[in-house]
Amino acid sequence: MIPATQLNPIIREMRESDLRKVILIEREIFLFPWSLENFADSLRSGYLCRVMEDNNTVIGYSIMMVGPDEAHILTLGIGADWQKKGLGAKLLNYLFDLAREKNAISMLLDVRESNHGAAKLYKQLGFQQIATRKGYYPAMCGREDALVMRLML
């Protein structure tokens, strides 16, 4: 385990050459991971794709889409070894600034109802639940609801 004090991560644009590393983290932290093609499509679509890197190692990533007024976080992850060290909050704060730069006035994201850790973080940062999407996600036993959360930027 790396102590949080020894981390000095940077956040930069994701490149095609990062995808292999991103997908390894994705498969490690999500039960229903995106495919490499999903990430490649996001890059091709011009979404705001970022990686967090520490000491030349990719340790996290995010994909955000910004439309008129509204930013959507499509996915966000921190590698298992680097979680709970404040890095998710750091990446989200970076995304708030980036979305504001692009003139977004609110930010939306979906989170699985069972993902209490992520939902707690989003609430700590000011997100509020505004809706529920019934059966939005695949789950081990059928489907699971998504909480739709919004932050006014």
Ligand X SMILES: CC(C)(COP(=O)(O)OP(=O)(O)OC[C@H]1O[C@@H](n2cnc3c(N)ncnc32)[C@H](O)[C@@H]1OP(=O)(O)O)[C@@H](O)C(=O)NCCC(=O)NCCS
Interface with ligand X by CB under 6 A: which residues?
A: 29-30, 76-78, 83-89, 111, 115, 117-118, 120-121, 124
CB closer to ligand X, 15 vs 116: 116
CB closer to ligand X, 31 vs 103: 31
CB closer to ligand X, 7 vs 153: 7
Closest approach of ligand X to the CB of residue 116, in Å = 6
Closest approach of ligand X to the CB of residue 68, in Å = 23
Output the CA angle 1-120-92, nearest 5 degrees. 70
Give the integer Cα–Cα distance in Å for 81 and 44.
Answer: 29
Closest approach of ligand X to the CB of residue 76, in Å = 5
CB closer to ligand X, 35 vs 103: 35
> Is the torsion defined by CA of 104, 33, 144, 84 positive or negative?
negative
CB closer to ligand X, 76 vs 104: 76
Closest approach of ligand X to the CB of residue 149, in Å = 9
Closest approach of ligand X to the CB of residue 85, in Å = 5
Q: Which residue is nearest to ligand X (CB)?
A: 88
Could you tell me how many residues make up the chain? 153
